[in-house]
């Protein structure tokens, strides 16, 4: 059975090439339950493999032939082989987090072949601390990064004693949700339909880039505006290669919240200030810090009134604020204050936009991977912004998969040509996790950013007097 592929998904498929694989990823860390035998990882793998039925999302692959009139359609894989998609892997010694991040970077570099369903999950053993890791990737044509993480979370439970939980691709994976609504999610659970609806707008925009850009830029040509598409050149804004490096770490939300409280800023402002300080130090070390401040594209949720405008399904509309990162300033406190103001300006400006502008800005927030290249095609020669920093709230309490405690969850995103670094943050169980995905060649020594982030937390604490 072949079904049409919606225009947005088609755009993600066609935007893909060797330099720009279009899949999102996630890395999760689990602690084995008490009494787990030494074959625990294998058993976990087998339990995930031996599902009775696969959800349609995990069965379909893009197909194009003369019979489809050259159009891309979804087709079920009639030779579906779960062992191609789910793999039991191991880390080389010494099995540190370093080896794990290297493996994730490598796995994230390889494109998903269109001839099979567009996902892969690796259950990974060999961490010397005994934890089990899981790296997953899914094509952006199937889900966006937020939904990908929710797909996993939808099969988790807050009950450490619950068993019989399916893999995310198990046909019964949704069933647990009705028993146990997870009201904790800030956005509702796996809002696939809603998100697809909103993404449909992107497709519309993709169909008429000139009109779209015109709408988007009419009010944002003012360079100092928080919606401005105008940023200095940096090493991040070059052509990229297909090689990826991944770095990840988390910090207690309490530490970041205390900084925000003491300085009158939000948690998200603190996250952005951490990124700002870390990127500043990183570029300084490379003698590549521009004089003007870097600009981050920051997706933000739109409120109910706006989201009505942005999506007739009333889903989770996401807009985009261009945040001036104040990387030209020396003082951490100064940067934080400045970022706070820039974000506030941006949100105010979003509120004052016309419905058409919100629509366009929302499309950009949801699908930068396909829309950003268009900005450049439309005559915006300087980079419209320097990097993307997303912060997506996740569950606040401890979750388990069949008794295995999830102790960390980190997002991997999509660098694109001209945007070689992506920082995505997600909170879980009292920790703020940073996932940094970059082109390995364009962004050298990516992992140094982790040290800089850590230093920046300390500097902000000192500045805020906490």
Residues in the site for its own copies, rule: CB under 8 A? 17-19, 38-39, 41-42, 79, 81, 83-84, 87-94, 106, 109-111, 113, 115-116, 125-126, 241-243, 440-441
CB of 148 to its own copies, least distance (A): 22
CB of 87 to its own copies, least distance (A): 7
Say which DSSP state 416 is in: B
- CA neighbor of 57 nearest in space, from 180, 152, 157: 152
211-219 contacts, C-beta under 8 A, 24 or more apart: 212/360, 212/363, 212/374, 213/374, 213/375, 213/378, 213/380, 215/356, 215/357, 215/359, 215/360, 216/357, 216/360, 216/361, 216/364, 217/378, 217/380, 218/357, 219/353, 219/357
Between 192-207 and 355-366, two packed helices, what is the crossing angle to 10 degrees?
110
Q: H/E/C letters for each residue in 361-392? A: HHHHHHCHHHHHHHHHHCCCCCCCCCEEEEEE
Tokens in use for 290? 């521009």
d(CA 172, CA 152): 13
Query: CB-wise, 20 or 229, nearer to its own copies?
Result: 20
Q: Which residues pair with 320 in a beta bridge?
A: 299
Query: CB-wise, 124 or 298, nearer to its own copies?
Result: 124
Between 145-153 and 192-207, two packed helices, what is the crossing angle to 10 degrees?
170
Handedness of CA 85, 18, 388, 370 (dihedral sign): negative
CB of 89 to its own copies, least distance (A): 7
- Residues 166 and 409: beta-carbon distance below 8 Å: no
d(CA 195, CA 57): 15
Query: CB-wise, 80 or 185, nearer to its own copies?
Result: 80
Angle at 185 between CA 346 and CA 342, to 5 degrees: 15
Q: Which residues pair with 74 in a beta bridge?
A: 3, 62
Those residues whose C-beta lies under 8 Å from the C-beta of residue 94, and which sit 6 or more positions away, are: 128
Is there a catalytic annotation at residue 108? no
Query: CB-wise, 109 or 292, nearer to its own copies?
Result: 109
Query: CB-wise, 39 or 352, nearer to its own copies?
Result: 39
- Residues 390 and 299: beta-carbon distance below 8 Å: yes
- Residues 172 and 221: beta-carbon distance below 8 Å: no
CB of 37 to its own copies, least distance (A): 11
CB of 253 to its own copies, least distance (A): 34
Burial grade of 49 (CB within 10 A; 0-12, 13-18, 19 or more) = middle
CB of 90 to its own copies, least distance (A): 4
Q: Which residue in the list 23, 122, 140, 340 is annotated as catalytic? A: 140
Query: CB-wise, 85 or 431, nearer to its own copies?
Result: 85
- Residues 371 and 205: beta-carbon distance below 8 Å: yes
Tokens in use for 24? 């999102």
CB of 81 to its own copies, least distance (A): 5
- Residues 418 and 235: beta-carbon distance below 8 Å: no
Burial grade of 224 (CB within 10 A; 0-12, 13-18, 19 or more) = exposed
Query: CB-wise, 172 or 241, nearer to its own copies?
Result: 241
Q: What is the separation, in whole angstroms, between the first and last Cα of the chain?
A: 60
CB of 103 to its own copies, least distance (A): 9
CB of 92 to its own copies, least distance (A): 4
Give the active site residues: 140
């Amino acid at each position: 059975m072949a079904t049409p592929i919606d225009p947005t998904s088609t755009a993600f498929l066609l935007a893909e090439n060797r330099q720009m694989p279009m899949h999102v990823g996630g890395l999760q860390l689990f602690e084995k339950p008490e009494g787990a035998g030494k074959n625990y990882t294998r058993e976990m793998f087998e339990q995930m493999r031996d599902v009775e039925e696969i959800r349609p999302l995990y069965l379909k692959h893009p197909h194009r032939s003369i019979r489809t009139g050259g159009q891309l359609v979804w087709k079920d894989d009639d030779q579906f082989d779960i062992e191609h998609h789910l793999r039991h892997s191991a880390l080389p010694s010494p099995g540190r987090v370093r080896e794990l991040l290297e493996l994730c970077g490598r796995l994230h570099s390889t494109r998903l072949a269109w001839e099979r369903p567009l996902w892969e999950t690796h259950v990974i053993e060999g961490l010397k601390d005994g934890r089990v890791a899981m790296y997953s990737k899914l094509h952006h044509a199937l889900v966006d990064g937020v939904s990908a993480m929710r797909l996993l979370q939808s099969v988790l439970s807050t009950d450490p004693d619950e068993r019989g939980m399916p893999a995310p691709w198990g046909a019964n994976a949704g069933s647990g949700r009705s028993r146990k609504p997870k009201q904790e999610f800030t956005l509702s659970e796996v809002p696939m339909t809603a998100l697809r609806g909103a993404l449909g707008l992107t497709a519309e925009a993709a169909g008429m880039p000139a009109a779209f850009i015109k709408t988007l830029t009419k009010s944002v040509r003012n360079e100092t505006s928080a919606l401005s598409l105008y940023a200095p050149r940096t090493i991040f804004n070059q052509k990229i290669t297909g090689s990826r490096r991944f770095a990840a770490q988390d910090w207690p939300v309490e530490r970041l919240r205390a900084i925000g409280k003491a300085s009158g800023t939000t948690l998200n402002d603190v996250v952005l200030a951490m990124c700002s300080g870390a990127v500043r130090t990183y570029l300084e070390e490379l003698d590549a810090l521009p004089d003007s401040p870097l600009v981050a594209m920051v997706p933000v949720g739109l409120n109910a009134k706006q989201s009505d405008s942005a999506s007739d399904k009333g889903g989770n509309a996401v807009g985009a604020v261009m945040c001036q990162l104040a990387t030209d300033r020396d003082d951490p406190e100064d940067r934080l204050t400045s970022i706070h103001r820039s974000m506030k300006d941006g949100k105010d400006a979003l509120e004052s936009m016309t419905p058409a502008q919100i629509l366009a800005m929302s499309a950009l927030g949801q699908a930068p991977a396909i829309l950003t290249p268009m900005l450049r095609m439309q005559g915006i020669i300087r980079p419209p912004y320097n990097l993307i920093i997303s912060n997506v709230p996740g569950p606040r309490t401890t979750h388990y998969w069949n008794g295995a405690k999830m102790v960390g969850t980190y997002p991997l995103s999509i660098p694109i040509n001209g945007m070689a670094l992506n920082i995505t943050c997600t909170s879980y169980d009292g920790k703020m996790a940073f996932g940094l995905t970059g082109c390995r060649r364009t962004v050298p020594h990516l992992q140094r950013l982790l040290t800089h982030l850590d230093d920046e937390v300390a500097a902000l604490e000192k500045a805020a007097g906490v």
